[in-house]
């Protein structure tokens, strides 16, 4: 049967927010075909973007500037790359670092020599510099000490790098921050949201990382040639495709999810709607079944190669691989021949798989249904984080009803117990690094606290409302209690957003911020999750993706997982 | 002068307001009001710096107006905070007798009421005439139209502000401002206030940041 996008979504069966919006599940999300990386490459391919490298002024030591141009139907974007000679002692992925191996900005258009001169004084400083409305992002990357030199020296000798090391590490450089949307003088998102190619979330950042990946290959080949012009060879393209861009992500991503609840709703609602549409299919075509089997096999091979030093994630990955085997065994039993085969398989997974594998199954179910779900990518943006105006005419009784119906999950936490507020989120004076620490480290922690403690704010609001008449209007209550304006605006503004709130106490004892990071990174399209602690994770972006000069209409859409990585 | 996107400046203003001890939600209202004034080509940064310095550390309970009825908001002692007053007007506009006119007593930096009146106009669909001293203007959701000289909007405090619905059908010129220039003095004050919200660095704090205590250079 042919797949039809339903005119109305009202009869779709969606998973409950109380199931989905728990950190254990959010922290088990995997990339889907709706990820921002894949959406970008789909557009680039379908619109026939042209890529070039008009500037390469890098010396024998690998210091200089390069420009990569991406030319779309109506506009060009250019990644301006500054390659530096970094003292290894100063190499750090932390946001408090002040020097990097390479620094980047995505320029809106094609930069002139004057632009490059201006940027050369600002971009290497990163947060300490100022860019302009012509710049759309600011980022930096460090070399992988383990792999970068190995690849350069092997290529210089005329040899290819050790594929085991390629598989173990997976990137030559890793970005440590990619800033966009109006930071440090750069253009604000308002300017970009009306452009088709940048209206979806994080497309500027994804384009920047995609071009950065090309730079990482070019710089190792350049250094190899500089070192041994007579013997050096280019990197084998099959090996190069196994290299993505690494990324070290810290706590900054966690506040983002709490501060942009409407956006989070749109992301997760899109994913859940895609799943619901697939589950609602009465039958499955031979083509979708074949694509599904291919995706399962590729995921099985790829995920088995994930490497992590984190014992917790290592155990989860082992369990995940076992569960994928269980899924593959189940599929051998003609699992997709009944009516509503995807629904049947989904329900089987909820019973027989662990959470991490359940969420992988969600991604795999969505994978072969591009015609059914890809329109959802256009519903993943949000103009404003929250409506700005508070409805002050609302009676407290109605607000109470909203709290009792939409925030009942807060009752799970007892904020009379100090353990429930053990930690606080704040910004350090050291380069504005977001941190999470025990409240006990500073007597003024409450003043410094970044207001991410939604559950606690709800509990306080309810406690203060309890001393007021139900008939009173919110306007008067807020005149006396302006400290509740933020949470009231949130509650009113999210009344139509089922998937907006992470239903956890994120200042409580035992909180694992990494689950929030993983959730956000999965929407980017990240793979190879390698936690370094409960608040810091390394991942890989664009691994297995075609390079700019390999893109064509024949480009395989599902490039993320490949069954036979080095022999494609 | 430093060039900002309005969005970045709004974030700075919000943090500066919090640094001056506004609760976060009110700081959001304040930052949004600053950006509204900037879009209306009014001197937002200098007025905002003045307001934050005036009320720095003062308990909000001392800066709140007292609604007597739907036509009068009163204030004794210190001048009312315009952000708190504007927020209340916006929240409570349906209880105000704007057809007959509302008097607001003793407000500091009354220009910060304009963004909230614009918000009311956007919801009610009615233009609002506002005046204090020699200043007169009409506000709606698209912006502000001055009857008096626009420089009269700059005012540290005023004892009586009047607002009333009006039917004037004036040409409101929407100016699509997305960037602004902030002078060094105002930027330094806002940055200093914002910096108060950053926890001073300690070894313990650094160790609990992402990556703290771990090898991160391999």
Question: What is the per-residue DSSP string for A357-414?
Answer: HHHHHHHHHHTT-HHHHGGGGGG---S-SS-S---TTSBHHHHHHHHHHHSGGGGG--
Residue B85 lies in a domain: yes
**In this predicted structure, which of A181-185, A389-393, B69-73, B170-174 has the lowest mean pLDDT?**
B170-174
Given a cut of 70, whether residue A354 has pLDDT beyond it is yes
pLDDT band at A2 (very low <50, low <70, confident <90, very high): very low
Domain count, chain B: 1
Give the Å distances, CA to CA, from A301 to A37, A161, A525, A531, A543.
21, 21, 18, 20, 14
Least CB–CB distance from B6: residue in A94, A188, A474: A188
pLDDT band at A6 (very low <50, low <70, confident <90, very high): very low
Give the number of other CB atoms < 10 A from CB of residue B152.
17
DSSP assignment letter at A451: S
pLDDT in the model for residue A384: 62
DSSP assignment letter at A509: T
Whether residues A441 and B205 touch (CB distance < 8 A) is answered with yes
Nearest residue of chain A to residue B197 (CA atoms): A448
pLDDT band at A4 (very low <50, low <70, confident <90, very high): very low
Mean pLDDT value of segment B22-32: 97
pLDDT in the model for residue A389: 87
C-alpha dihedral, A382 to A388 to A389 to A391, nearest 10°: 60
Whether residues B206 and A132 touch (CB distance < 8 A) is answered with no
Whether residues A479 and B88 touch (CB distance < 8 A) is answered with yes
Least CB–CB distance from A486: residue in B5, B28, B88: B28
Mean pLDDT value of segment A550-567: 80
Residue B43 lies in a domain: yes
Altogether, the residues listed in chain B come to a count of 218
For A136, the 3-state DSSP assignment is: strand
With an 8 Å Cβ cutoff, is A487 touching chain B? yes
What integer best gives the mean pLDDT of chain B?
90
Chain B CB contacts of A94 below 8 Å:
209-212, 216
Given a cut of 50, whether residue A567 has pLDDT beyond it is yes
Mean pLDDT value of segment A281-291: 95
Whether residues B23 and A130 touch (CB distance < 8 A) is answered with no
Given a cut of 60, whether residue B217 has pLDDT beyond it is no
User: Which is more confidently placed, A460 or A248?
Assistant: A460
Given a cut of 60, whether residue A568 has pLDDT beyond it is no
Reference B46, options B188, B165, B158; nearest CA is: B188
With an 8 Å Cβ cutoff, is A307 touching chain B? no
Give the number of other CB atoms < 10 A from CB of residue B178.
16
pLDDT band at A316 (very low <50, low <70, confident <90, very high): confident
Interface test mutation site (partner B, options A95, A431, A485, max chain B beta carbons within 10 A): A485
Chain A CB contacts of B195 below 8 Å:
429
CA contacts within 13 A on the Cβ side of A489: 25
Whether residues A473 and B92 touch (CB distance < 8 A) is answered with yes
Residues 6 or more apart whose CB falls under 8 angstroms from that of B47 comprise B37, B109, B111, B112, B154
What would the pLDDT profile of A55-105 be if each residue is shown by its tens digit?
A: 999 999 999 999 999 999 999 999 999 999 898 888 887 777 889 999 999
Residue B212 lies in a domain: no
pLDDT band at B32 (very low <50, low <70, confident <90, very high): very high
Whole-number Å distance between alpha carbons of A142 and A398 = 53
Given a cut of 80, whether residue A140 has pLDDT beyond it is yes
Whether residues B218 and A476 touch (CB distance < 8 A) is answered with no
Nearest residue of chain A to residue B3 (CA atoms): A185
Give the Å distances, CA to CA, from A466 to A407, B25, B91.
16, 21, 20
**In this predicted structure, which of A551-555, B99-103, B196-200 has the lowest mean pLDDT?**
A551-555
pLDDT in the model for residue B170: 60
Interface test mutation site (partner A, options B67, B88, B91, max chain A beta carbons within 10 A): B91
Least CB–CB distance from B211: residue in A191, A250, A482: A250
Residue B208 lies in a domain: no
Question: Which tokens in the block code for residue A445?
Answer: 């922690």
What would the pLDDT profile of A168-202 be if each residue is shown by its tens digit?
A: 899 999 998 899 888 999 999 888 989 999 999 99
Q: Do the beta carbons of residue A166 and residue A115 sit within 8 Å?
A: no
Burial class (CB in 10 A: 0-12, 13-18, 19+), A329: exposed
Given a cut of 60, whether residue A1 has pLDDT beyond it is no
What integer best gives the mean pLDDT of chain A?
93
Q: Which domain holds residue B21?
A: 2-195
With an 8 Å Cβ cutoff, is A181 touching chain B? yes
Chain B CB contacts of A448 below 8 Å:
197-199
User: Which is more confidently placed, B212 or A267?
Assistant: A267
Give the number of other CB atoms < 10 A from CB of residue B133.
13
Is ipTM over 0.85? yes
Please name the residues between 106 and 135 in chain B that touch chain A, using a CB distance below 8 Å: 119, 122-123
With an 8 Å Cβ cutoff, is B23 touching chain A? yes
CA contacts within 13 A on the Cβ side of A223: 20
Given a cut of 50, whether residue A3 has pLDDT beyond it is no
Q: Do the beta carbons of residue A251 and residue B209 sit within 8 Å?
A: yes
Reference A79, options A42, A109, A124, A35; nearest CA is: A109
With an 8 Å Cβ cutoff, is B67 touching chain A? yes
Chain A CB contacts of B211 below 8 Å:
92-94, 248, 250, 532-533, 536
Angle of CA points A532, A559, A199, to nearest 5°: 85
Q: What percent of chain A has pLDDT over 90?
A: 80
Residue B213 lies in a domain: no
Residue B202 lies in a domain: no
pLDDT in the model for residue B174: 60
Q: Do the beta carbons of residue B180 and residue B6 sit within 8 Å?
A: yes
With an 8 Å Cβ cutoff, is B60 touching chain A? yes
Given a cut of 80, whether residue A20 has pLDDT beyond it is yes
pLDDT in the model for residue A249: 84
With an 8 Å Cβ cutoff, is B88 touching chain A? yes
Chain A CB contacts of B3 below 8 Å:
130, 132-133, 185
Lateral strand order in the sheet of B102-108: B66-67, B72-74, B102-108, B157-166, B127-132, B135-140, B143-146
Residue B109 lies in a domain: yes
Give the Å distances, CA to CA, from A363 to A280, A308, A350, A370, A560.
16, 22, 14, 12, 12
Given a cut of 90, whether residue A558 has pLDDT beyond it is no
Give the highest mean pLDDT range of A427-431, B165-169, B197-201.
B197-201
Whole-number Å distance between alpha carbons of A311 and A306 = 13
pLDDT band at A219 (very low <50, low <70, confident <90, very high): very high
Residue B175 lies in a domain: yes
Interface test mutation site (partner B, options A475, A490, A532, A533, max chain B beta carbons within 10 A): A475
Whether residues B24 and A451 touch (CB distance < 8 A) is answered with yes
Given a cut of 90, whether residue A33 has pLDDT beyond it is yes
């Amino acid at each position: 049967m042919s797949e039809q996008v339903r005119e109305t979504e009202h009869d779709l069966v969606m998973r409950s927010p109380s199931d989905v919006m728990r950190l254990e599940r959010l922290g088990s999300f995997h990339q889907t075909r709706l990820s921002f990386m894949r959406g970008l490459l789909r557009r680039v391919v379908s619109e026939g973007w042209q890529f070039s490298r008009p500037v390469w002024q890098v010396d024998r030591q690998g210091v200089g500037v390069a420009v990569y141009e991406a030319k779309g139907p109506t506009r060009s974007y250019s990644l301006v790359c500054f390659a530096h000679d970094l003292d290894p002692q100063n190499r750090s992925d932390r946001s408090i670092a002040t020097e990097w191996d390479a620094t980047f900005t995505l320029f809106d258009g094609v930069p002139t020599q004057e632009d490059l001169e201006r940027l050369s004084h600002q971009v290497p400083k990163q947060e300490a510099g100022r860019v302009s409305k012509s710049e759309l992002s600011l980022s930096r990357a460090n070399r992988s000490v383990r792999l970068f030199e190995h690849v350069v020296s092997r290529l210089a000798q005329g040899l290819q790098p050790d594929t085991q090391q390629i598989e173990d590490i997976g990137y030559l450089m890793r970005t440590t921050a990619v800033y966009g949307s109006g930071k440090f003088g750069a253009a604000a998102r308002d300017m970009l949201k009306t452009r088709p190619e940048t209206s979806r979330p994080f497309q500027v950042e994804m384009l920047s990382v995609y071009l950065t990946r090309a730079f990482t290959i070019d710089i190792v080949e350049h250094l190899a040639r500089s070192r041994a012009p007579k013997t050096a060879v280019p990197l084998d393209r099959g090996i190069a495709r196994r290299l993505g861009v690494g990324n070290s992500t810290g706590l900054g991503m966690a506040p983002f999810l709490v501060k942009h609840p409407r956006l989070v709703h749109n992301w997760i609602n899109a994913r859940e709607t895609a799943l619901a549409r697939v589950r609602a299919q009465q039958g499955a075509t031979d083509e979708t079944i074949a694509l599904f089997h291919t995706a399962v096999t590729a995921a099985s091979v790829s995920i088995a190669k994930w490497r992590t030093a984190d014992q917790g994630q290592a155990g989860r990955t082992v369990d995940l691989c076992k569960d994928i085997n269980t899924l593959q065994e189940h599929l051998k039993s003609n699992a997709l021949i009944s009516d509503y085969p995807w629904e049947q398989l989904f329900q089987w997974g909820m019973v027989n798989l662990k959470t991490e594998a359940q969420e992988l199954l969600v991604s795999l179910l969505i994978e072969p249904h591009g015609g059914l779900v890809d329109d959802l990518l256009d519903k993943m943006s949000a103009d404003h984080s929250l409506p700005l105006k508070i409805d002050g005419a609302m009676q407290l009784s109605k607000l109470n009803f909203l709290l009792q119906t939409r925030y009942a999950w807060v009752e799970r936490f007892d904020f009379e117990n100090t353990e429930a507020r053990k930690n606080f989120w704040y910004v350090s004076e050291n380069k504005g690094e977001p941190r999470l620490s025990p409240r006990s480290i500073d007597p003024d922690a409450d003043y410094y606290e970044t207001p991410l403690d939604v559950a606690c704010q709800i509990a306080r609001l309810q406690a203060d409302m309890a001393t007021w008449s139900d008939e009173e209007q919110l306007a008067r209550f807020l005149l006396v209690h302006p400290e509740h304006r933020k949470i009231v605006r949130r509650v009113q503004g999210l009344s139509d957003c089922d998937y907006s709130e992470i239903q956890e106490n994120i200042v409580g004892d035992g909180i694992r911020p990494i689950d929030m990071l993983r959730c956000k990174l999965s929407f980017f399209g990240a793979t190879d999750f390698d936690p370094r602690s409960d608040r810091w994770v390394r991942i890989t972006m664009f691994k297995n993706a075609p390079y700019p000069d390999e893109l064509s209409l024949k480009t395989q859409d599902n490039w993320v997982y490949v069954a036979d990585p080095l022999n494609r | 002068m430093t060039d900002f996107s309005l969005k970045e400046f709004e974030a700075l203003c919000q943090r500066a307001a919090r640094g001056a001890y506004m609760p976060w939600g009110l700081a959001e209202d304040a930052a949004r009001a600053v950006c509204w004034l900037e879009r209306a080509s009014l001197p937002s940064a200098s007025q905002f710096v003045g307001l934050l310095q005036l009320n720095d550390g003062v308990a909000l309970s001392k800066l709140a107006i007292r609604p007597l009825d739907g036509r009068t908001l009163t204030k004794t002692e210190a001048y009312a905070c315009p952000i708190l007053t504007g927020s209340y007007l916006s929240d409570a506009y349906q209880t105000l007798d704007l057809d007959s006119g509302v008097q607001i007593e003793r407000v500091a930096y009354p220009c910060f009421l304009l963004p909230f009146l614009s918000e009311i106009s956007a919801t009610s669909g009615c233009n609002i005439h506002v005046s204090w001293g020699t200043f007169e203007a009409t506000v709606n959701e698209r912006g502000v139209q001055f009857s008096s000289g626009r420089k009269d909007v700059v005012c540290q405090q005023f004892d009586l502000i009047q607002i009333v619905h009006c039917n004037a059908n004036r040409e409101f010129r929407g100016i699509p401002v997305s960037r602004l220039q902030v002078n060094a003095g105002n930027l330094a004050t806002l940055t200093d206030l914002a910096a108060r919200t950053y926890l001073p660095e300690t070894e313990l704090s650094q160790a609990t940041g992402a990556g703290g205590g771990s090898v991160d250079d391999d």
